[in-house]
Amino acid sequence: MPAHPTGQGPAPISTSSPTAPQAVFSPPPPLAIPDLYVPQAAPATGASPLALRRTIADTDLTVHPLALGTSVFGWTADGATSHRILDRHRDLAGNFLDTADSYTSGRSEVIIGSWLRSRRTRDSTVIATKIGKNLDNPGLSSRSIIGAVHASLDRLGTDYIDLLHFHFDDPTVPLEESLGAVDVLMRRGQVRYLAASNFSAERLMEARVLAANGLPRFVALQTQYSLLHRTAFESSLALVTRAQGMAVLPYFALAHGFLAGRYRSKTDLEKTTRSSRGAQYRNRSGFRVLAVLDRIAEEHEAPPAAIAIAWLLARGPVVAPVASASQPEQVDALVTAAGIRLTRSDMVDLDRISA
Do 315 and 39 touch, CB atoms closer than 8 A?
A: no
pLDDT at 281: 85
Question: What pLDDT does residue 29 have?
Answer: 41
10-residue stretch averages of pLDDT, the chain, 355 residues long: 44 40 40 46 46 90 97 95 98 97 97 98 98 96 98 98 97 97 98 98 97 97 97 94 96 93 70 62 91 97 96 93 95 93 96 95
9 CB-near residues (< 8 Å, 6+ apart): none
Beta bridge partners of 67: 322
Residue 207: per-residue pLDDT:
98
Three-state DSSP at 126 gives: strand
* φ, ψ dihedrals at 44, nearest 5°: -65, 145
Under 8 Å between Cβ of 54 and 43: no
Residue type, 235: S
Local structure of 257: helix, strand or coil: helix
pLDDT of residue 263: 78
Task: Output the CA torsion 328→330→336→337 (10° steps).
Answer: -130
What's the confidence (pLDDT) of residue 274? 57
Distance (Å, rounded) from C-alpha 190 to C-alpha 181?
A: 12
pLDDT at site 262: 83
Question: CA separation (Å) from 192 to 27, 58, 75, 99, 219?
Answer: 31, 12, 29, 16, 11
Strand residue runs (E) in the chain: 54-55, 62-63, 67-69, 96-98, 126-131, 161-166, 191-197, 218-224, 247-251, 322-324
pLDDT at 52: 85
Whether the CB-CB separation of 253 and 335 falls below 8 Å is answered with no
Distance of CA 77 to the CA centre of its chain: 20
**Contact (Cβ atoms closer than 8 angstroms) between residue 217 and residue 279:** no
- Helices 344-354, 304-313: crossing angle, 10 deg rounding: 100
The single-letter code of the amino acid at 212 is A
Please tell me the predicted confidence (pLDDT) of residue 33: 37
**According to the model, what pLDDT value does residue 84 have?**
98
In the chain, the domains with their CATH numbers are 50-256+306-341 (3.20.20.100)
| 293 vs 153: CA distance, rounded Å | 40
For the entire predicted model, the pTM comes to 0.85
